[in-house]
Amino acid sequence: GKDVDVARFCAATRAYCELLRKFGRFAGPSIANVRMCLAKIETAQQSLVHRITQNKRRSLRSMKGLLKAERALEPPIHKPGGVLFDPSAAMGLLWVRRGLHMWAETFEQQVEVLKERIKAAKKAKNGPEPTQV
């Protein structure tokens, strides 16, 4: 499968947060949470650089590599059953993904509302659409 470059992911997420700032104070708490989670990702990545061998450090650039390295730590930081340690890269990535998904859903719903309003405005302006014979 495909993998994600962690630095590019974090940069894109920061740019997205800047876009969300245009929505004003409403978006503030979500932006603050995402930024806090980005810090968890980057801090974990930097911490792992010092804990793994030189030839494995390159793998930390990818999301899969970062998560695998974190999972391989001894003693383990995450608990059995998917209980994630906080702060960790896994916890940061989980919540960044959830935050981005929430905004994507919000925007998709607004697109549908806008489509319906445009359709209603056209109908009001032009009258009912002609039926086909």
Neighbours of 45 (CB within 10 A): 21
User: Residue 80: which domain range?
Assistant: 6-106
- pLDDT for the residue numbered 122: 87
In a domain, 116, yes or no: no
In a domain, 53, yes or no: yes
In a domain, 129, yes or no: no
Specify the number of domains making up the chain.
Answer: 1
In a domain, 87, yes or no: yes
- pLDDT for the residue numbered 91: 97
Whole-number mean pLDDT of the chain?
91
- pLDDT for the residue numbered 123: 86
Q: Which residues of the chain have pLDDT under 50?
A: none
In a domain, 42, yes or no: yes
In a domain, 17, yes or no: yes
In a domain, 124, yes or no: no
Residue 14 contacts residue 58 (beta carbons within 8 Å): no
In a domain, 121, yes or no: no
Q: Whole-angstrom Cα distance, residue 72 to residue 74?
A: 6
End-to-end, the C-alpha distance of the chain in Å comes to 51
* 34-52 pLDDT, tens digit each: 999 999 999 999 999 888 8
